[in-house]
């Protein structure tokens, strides 16, 4: 397909972005310097500071904003305020010409994961550090860089007094890394209020599969997270005195965990995979086309341990099939040396990643019934408790929608190659909330690469991805605008 704005790659916008690259990096430095760690109550003020900083930036670019109180959060028995959601809008929502424009809702989050130099960072995580082409700092790729990409696009239109090709609404939050508390209720409440009239949603909070090929993401797996606890004696026991005389909770727990999944990743719980739809030939062709290899998997994990040598099989294991992972055991001895203790109470943690047609409520019931049945077979005098801790539904969008077509063409213009269409193995629950509450197509349009190390030490965003990603976001908006015959000359 020939782009509706085929000359866009050489137009003033892209040239202006290149000319202002250092200016954009300085703004990213300011954002990274605010340690907005939502999971640390001692840093809650910093999350508020980040909200106000971003609010000021948007206001300076002509965005009409408001900070929305999301209530409080109980932390260790104490109620502390949640950081506000930041809503904003810019465009022509009243004139006849303005009403004909598409309205795009942009989502992002301004909180970050904890980080300290003592964790193994090569530099201060809250000082943006340039290492070759890399911009290293906590939040650089997750998700401050992508948010500022949108601000860079607004900056062009503000500085050059140019009208946006679409109307924009924004929803930025400060609790994404801690469960997005309060946000779902706000989205549902404002579906017919502040968010009324939204045509599409765009989220930049994910990554390419590798460091070579841009992607558009149209699906996310859901999640069910469980704790299974086995308790026996009233206190820890000496194994030399009581070993061989009592039922041991750890033995029962390890036996139960071994019955959840085999070492090839096959889920052993009856009924869990029954609702998973069969793969279609069209899907297989999508996976075959993806620029990914077993070597990429080995590189990503640091060892040749892929479950299969078949690229398609492994990619489906990550993107379109459910998986069960064991995460840890609490209450057991884990220190140095040799402690010959029989733990009185141990809890195992595991999760199941869900795909479409799997309902979290049904999965919770299946898991509970199965574990209780398997525990009964042990004839143990220990006690069992199975507890669901959290869940979220999977999401899949129509990647043939005009929203995705606009992003595809914009990607081709900026990077000179077709994007891969992917489904992600992880979960972004707010994606499904927007889809269900607003009833519109949601696009995941990533800025960063697969090796950015979000949540890890030395998190980075490549300078080239930040600058070219800014162009991508802008041209995506112009492609959407051009789809309704708005003059794309800028």
- pLDDT tens digits, one per residue of 294-311: 999 898 888 999 999 999
pLDDT of residue 85: 98
Give yes or no for residue 71 having a pLDDT over 70.
yes
372 labelled catalytic? no
Q: How many CB atoms lie within 10 A of CB 135?
A: 25
Q: Spell out the CATH class of 222-276+322-392.
A: alpha beta
Q: Spell out the CATH class of 8-220+395-482.
A: alpha beta
| Residue 89, CB-side half-sphere exposure with 13 Å CA sphere | 15
pLDDT tens digit sequence for 143-186: 999 999 999 999 999 999 999 999 999 999 999 999 899 999 99
Where are the domains positioned within the chain? 8-220+395-482, 222-276+322-392
- Distance (Å, whole) CA 275 – CA 363: 10
Give yes or no for residue 356 having a pLDDT over 90.
yes
**pLDDT-based confidence at residue 224 (cuts at 50, 70, 90):** very high
Q: Find out whether the peptide bond into 143 is cis, omega within 30 degrees of 0.
A: yes
pLDDT of residue 43: 95
pLDDT of residue 489: 38
pLDDT of residue 295: 94
Mean pLDDT for 443-469 is 97
For residues 463 and 214, the answer to whether their CB atoms sit within 8 Å is no
283 labelled catalytic? no
**pLDDT-based confidence at residue 7 (cuts at 50, 70, 90):** very low
Average pLDDT, the chain: 94
Give yes or no for residue 485 having a pLDDT over 50.
no
Please name every residue paired with 65 in a beta bridge, in sequence order, or none if there are none.
Answer: 88
**pLDDT-based confidence at residue 200 (cuts at 50, 70, 90):** very high
**pLDDT-based confidence at residue 11 (cuts at 50, 70, 90):** confident
Task: Give the torsion through C-alpha atoms of 131, 426, 303, 113, to 10 deg.
Answer: 40
Residue of 46, 111, 459, 479 marked catalytic: 111
Residue of 176, 177, 190, 468 marked catalytic: 176
pLDDT of residue 483: 66
């Amino acid at each position: 397909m020939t782009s509706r704005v085929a000359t866009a790659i050489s137009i003033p916008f892209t040239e202006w972005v290149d000319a202002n690259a250092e200016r954009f990096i300085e703004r990213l430095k300011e954002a990274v310097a605010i340690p907005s760690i939502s999971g640390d109550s001692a840093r809650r003020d910093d999350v508020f500071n980040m909200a106000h900083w971003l609010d000021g930036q948007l206001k300076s670019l002509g965005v009409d904003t408001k900070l929305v109180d999301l209530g409080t959060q109980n932390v260790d028995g104490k109620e502390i305020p949640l950081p506000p959601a930041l809503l904003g809008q810019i465009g022509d929502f009243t004139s006849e010409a303005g009403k004909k424009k598409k309205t795009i809702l942009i989502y992002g989050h301004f909180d970050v994961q904890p980080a300290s130099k003592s964790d193994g960072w090569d530099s201060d995580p809250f000082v943006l550090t340039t290492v070759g082409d890399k911009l290293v700092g906590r939040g650089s790729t997750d998700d401050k860089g992508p948010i500022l990409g949108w601000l860079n696009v607004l900056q062009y239109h503000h500085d050059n007094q140019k009208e946006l090709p679409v109307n924009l609404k924004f929803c930025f939050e400060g609790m994404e890394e801690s469960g997005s508390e309060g946000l779902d209720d706000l989205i549902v409440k404002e579906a017919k209020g502040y968010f009324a009239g939204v045509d599409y949603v765009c989220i930049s909070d994910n990554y390419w599969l590798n460091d070579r090929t841009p992607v558009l993401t149209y699906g996310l797996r859901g999640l069910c997270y469980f704790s299974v606890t086995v308790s026996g004696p009233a206190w820890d026991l000496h194994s030399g005195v009581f070993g061989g005389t009592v039922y041991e909770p750890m033995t029962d727990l390890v036996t139960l965990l071994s019955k959840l999944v085999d070492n090839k990743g096959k889920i052993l719980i009856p009924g869990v995979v029954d609702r998973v739809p069969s793969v279609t030939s069209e899907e297989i062709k999508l996976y075959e086309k993806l620029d990914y290899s077993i070597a990429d998997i080995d590189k990503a994990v640091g060892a040749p341990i892929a479950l299969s040598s078949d690229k398609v099989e492994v990619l489906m294991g990550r993107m379109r099939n459910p998986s069960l992972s064991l995460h840890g055991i609490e209450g057991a001895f884990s220190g140095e040396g040799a402690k010959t203790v029989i733990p009185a109470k141990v809890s195992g943690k595991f999760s199941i990643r869900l795909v479409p047609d799997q309902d979290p409520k049904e999965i919770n019931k299946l898991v509970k019934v199965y574990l209780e049945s398997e525990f009964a077979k042990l004839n143990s005098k220990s006690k069992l408790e199975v507890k669901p801790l959290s869940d979220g539904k999977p999401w899949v969008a129509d990647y043939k929608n005009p929203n995705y077509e606009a992003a595809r063409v914009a990607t081709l213009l900026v990077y000179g190659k077709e994007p891969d269409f992917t489904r992600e193995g992880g979960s972004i629950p707010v994606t499904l909330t927007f889809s269900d509450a607003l009833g519109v197509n949601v696009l995941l349009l990533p800025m960063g690469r697969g090796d950015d190390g979000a949540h890890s030490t030395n998190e980075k965003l490549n300078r080239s991805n930040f600058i070219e990603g800014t162009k991508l976001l802008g041209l995506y908006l112009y492609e959407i605008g051009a789809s309704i015959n708005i003059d794309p000359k800028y």
